[in-house]
C-alpha cells in the first residue's frame, strides 16, 4: 500500500483532465472533486475513476468542455441538460444556479439531466450547506448494465442510485448523509477486489442469486449483483432515486428501451432550501447540535466504540488523510498511471508521481 499526498494526486488528475480535452476550470474541478472523495474516505469515487474517465472520453461518452444547457427556467424550477458533459463541472454549475435562485425565492428545485459521472453526491450537498442551504438529492445511474438487485430480485435491475441530504450547522462541514442505495457502492467492490479482501456479508449475490462475499467474479465479469441496503425500504429509496432523479427530470433511466453504451450517466433532482427563508440559521444549528448531542449520549451498543453523526466518518478521514496521505493499493495506482499515459499526460508528471512513491 502506498500513501500519496493529496496535492500530488490532484496534479495528476488535473493533468488527465487537460489531456482528455477539458478546459482549465473543468479539469481543476474534476481533480479537486476526485481527490476530495479520496480525502473523505470514498476511494470508490476518487482518482480510481481515472481509467474509466479516460475510456469514456475516448469513446465520446464523456464530453469535455460541454456547457450546461438551460431547458426550463421558471424561477423556483431549473431544468438543465448536461449532454454527457464532465459530471463534476456540470453538477457544480447546476448547484450554483440553484443556490442563487433559492436565495431569491426561498427554494429552488434543480433537475440535471444526463451528466457524465458526477462523483460523490455529498459534495453537492456540502456546496449547498456551505451556502447556508438545506438540500436533498435523488440521483440515478444509467447507460450501463444494472448493478443493484432490488428487494426480492435475483439479478440486477438498477444502478447504485445514490441519495444525499445535508443541513448547514455551526461547524463546517455540516450534517451530511450521502450514500449509495446498494448495500455497498460498486467502487467499494472494485476496491475490495483490488485489495484482495471480501465485501461485507449481505452486500452481494452471485450469478445464481446466492449470497457471496467474494467480489472477484462480480467485478471482473459482472456476474451477480449488489443488494439494495435496508431490505424493502432501501430498495424503495433506490426506485425513487431512479424515478425522481431521471424519470421526472427527463434524464435517461435504466429501463432497457434506452440504449446502453457502457457509459456512466447521472441524472439528479436537487431540492435546495434557503434556511434563512424558513427560520434562522443559528436556531437551526443549535437544534441540530441538541439533537446530535441527545443521540450521542446513548450508551454505545456492544461492538460500537462511539456514536457518529452522518458526515462524521468523512470528517475524520479528511483529518487523517491530510496528515498521512491517501492510501492507494499497487494495482489501483498502476491502473491510474497507465490510463494517464494513455490519455497523453506528459512524462514528467507521471515520473514525478513514480518518484514520490519510491
Nearer to ligand NAD, 129 or 337 (CB): 129
Query: What gap in Å lies between CA 148 and CA 156, rounded to an integer?
Result: 5
Which of these ranges, 89-97, 113-121, 318-326, 344-352, lies near ligand NAD under the rule CB under 6 A?
113-121
Q: Which residue has the cell 430498495?
A: 235
Which of these ranges, 14-22, 68-76, 111-119, 294-302, lies near ligand NAD under the rule CB under 6 A?
111-119
Q: How many CA atoms lie within 13 A of 213 on its CB side?
A: 7
Q: Is 230 in the site for ligand NAD (CB under 6 A)?
A: no
Per-residue CA distances from 207 to 212, 219, 286 (Å): 10, 12, 50
207, exposed or middle or buried, with CB in 10 Å at 0-12, 13-18, 19+? middle
Which of these ranges, 46-54, 97-105, 115-123, 150-158, lies near ligand NAD under the rule CB under 6 A?
115-123
- Whether residue 184 contacts residue 173, with contact meaning beta carbons closer than 8 Å, is answered with no
Q: Is 88 in the site for ligand NAD (CB under 6 A)?
A: no
Q: Is 184 in the site for ligand NAD (CB under 6 A)?
A: yes
215-222, Cβ contacts within 8 angstroms, sequence gap of 24 or more: 215/189, 215/190, 218/189, 218/193, 219/189, 219/190, 219/193, 220/193, 222/145, 222/147
Site string for ligand NAD, 116-155 (x = CB under 6 A): -xxxxxx------------------x--------------
Residues 186-205 that bind ligand NAD (CB under 6 A): 188
Instruction: State the minimum distance, in angstroms, from the CB of residue 306 to ligand NAD.
Output: 9
Q: Which residue has the cell 434543480?
A: 110
Q: Is 215 in the site for ligand NAD (CB under 6 A)?
A: no
Q: Which residues bind ligand NAD (CB under 6 A)?
A: 42, 44-45, 117-122, 141, 160, 162, 164, 176-180, 184-185, 188, 266, 308, 310-311, 313-314
Amino acid at each position: 500500500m502506498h500513501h500519496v499526498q493529496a496535492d500530488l494526486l490532484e496534479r495528476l488528475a488535473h493533468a488527465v483532465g487537460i489531456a482528455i480535452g477539458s478546459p482549465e476550470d473543468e479539469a481543476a474541478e474534476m481533480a479537486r472533486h476526485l481527490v476530495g472523495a479520496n480525502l473523505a474516505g470514498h476511494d470508490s469515487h476518487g482518482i480510481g475513476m481515472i481509467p474509466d474517465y479516460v475510456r469514456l472520453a475516448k469513446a465520446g461518452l464523456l464530453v469535455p468542455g460541454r456547457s450546461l444547457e438551460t431547458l426550463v427556467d421558471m424561477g423556483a424550477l431549473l431544468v438543465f441538460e448536461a449532454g454527457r458533459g464532465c459530471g463534476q463541472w456540470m453538477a457544480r454549475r447546476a448547484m450554483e444556479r440553484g443556490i442563487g435562485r433559492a436565495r431569491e425565492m426561498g427554494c429552488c428545485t434543480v433537475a440535471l439531466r444526463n451528466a457524465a459521472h458526477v462523483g460523490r453526491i455529498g459534495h453537492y450537498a456540502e456546496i449547498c450547506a456551505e451556502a447556508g442551504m438545506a438540500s436533498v438529492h435523488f440521483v440515478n445511474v444509467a447507460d450501463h448494465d444494472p448493478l443493484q438487485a432490488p428487494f426480492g430480485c435475483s439479478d440486477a435491475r438498477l444502478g447504485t442510485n445514490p441519495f444525499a441530504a445535508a443541513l448547514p450547522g455551526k461547524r463546517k462541514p455540516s450534517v451530511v448523509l450521502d450514500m449509495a442505495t446498494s448495500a455497498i457502492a460498486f467502487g467499494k467492490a472494485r476496491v475490495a477486489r483490488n485489495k484482495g479482501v471480501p465485501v461485507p456479508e449481505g452486500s452481494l449475490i452471485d450469478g445464481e442469486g446466492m449470497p457471496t462475499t467474494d467480489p472477484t467474479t462480480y467485478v471482473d465479469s459482472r456476474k451477480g449483483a449488489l443488494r439494495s441496503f435496508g431490505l424493502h425500504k432501501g430498495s424503495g429509496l433506490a426506485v425513487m432515486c431512479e424515478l425522481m432523479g431521471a424519470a421526472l427530470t427527463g434524464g435517461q433511466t435504466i429501463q432497457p428501451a434506452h440504449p446502453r453504451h457502457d457509459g456512466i450517466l447521472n441524472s439528479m433532482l436537487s431540492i435546495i432550501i434557503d434556511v434563512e427563508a424558513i427560520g434562522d440559521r443559528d436556531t437551526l444549528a443549535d437544534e441540530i447540535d441538541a439533537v446530535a448531542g441527545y443521540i450521542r449520549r446513548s450508551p454505545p451498543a456492544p461492538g460500537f466504540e462511539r456514536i457518529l453523526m452522518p458526515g462524521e466518518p468523512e470528517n475524520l478521514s479528511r483529518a487523517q488523510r491530510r496528515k498521512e496521505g491517501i492510501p492507494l493499493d499497487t494495482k489501483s495506482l498502476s491502473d491510474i498511471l497507465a490510463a494517464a499515459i494513455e490519455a497523453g499526460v506528459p512524462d514528467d508528471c507521471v515520473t514525478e508521481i513514480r518518484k514520490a512513491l519510491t
